Structure 1
Amino acid sequence: MSEREHYIEKLKAQLDEWQAEIDKLQARAEEAGEEAKARYQEQIDELKRQHEQGKEQLREMQEASEDAWERMREGVESAWESMNRAFRDAINRFRQ
């Protein structure tokens, strides 16, 4: 497996992990009271938007030429790090 293929597989696994977290948070939100449910839903909606952005970046990387992929990698890593922080923050807010 090439470095690029390995990297793309890693991103796919991260997307799957984030989707599982979104599903868990959605289930928790459904069990919460109305006020908490609304607050949770806002956070879940934001996580879903970020998840979609991640899917779009992954698609772009898969379609990019080898040269373009190398240039994109740094920007994608920064964006994914930001999304990962947002997911951790949201999960922590749900636990409080």
Structure 2
Amino acid sequence: MSTKEAYKQKIEADVELAQVKLAQLKAEAKNSAADVRIEYENQIEELEQKIGATKTKLKELSEAGEEAWEHMKSGAESAWNTLSAAVKGNK
């Protein structure tokens, strides 16, 4: 397995974890009081945006050639770090 493929699989796994967290937040929001529900909805929206951005970078990384992916790696890493921090912040 190439370094690119291993890196891609790692980010894909983290996106899956973020999607699980998103589903948990949505379920908790449904069972919450109105003021708490607003906070959950804000967290959900933020997490959805970060998941989307990370998926976009991951797609770009997947489509890049072996030489070009090294240049794109930092953008994907930045999106992943942002998503990872958001997931950890919402635990």
The 1-side partners of 2:75 and 2:59 are apart by 14
What's the TM-score once normalised by structure 2's chain length?
A: 0.92
Give the match for residue 66 of structure 2: 66
Moved over 3 A (4+): none
CA distance in 1, matches of 2:54, 2:10: 12
May I ask how many residue pairs the two structures share in their alignment?
A: 91
Q: What runs of 5+ residues in structure 1 fail to find an aligned partner?
A: 92-96
1:35-86 CA deviation, whole Å, 9 max, x = no partner? 1101110111110010000110110000011121011112322331122112
Structure 2, unpaired ranges of 5+: none
RMSD of the TM alignment (CA)?
1.1
Q: Distance in 1 between matches of 2:16 and 2:79?
A: 17
Once residues 83 and 12 of structure 1 are traced to their aligned partners in structure 2, the CA distance between those partners, rounded to angstroms, is: 12
Match of 1:38 in 2: 38
Task: From the two aligned structures, give the one with the greater helix fraction.
Answer: 1
Amino acid across the alignment from 2:20: A
How many angstroms apart in 1 are the aligned matches of 2:47 and 2:21? 9
TM-score (norm 1): 0.87
Partner of residue 78, structure 1 = 78
How many percent identity over aligned positions?
Answer: 34
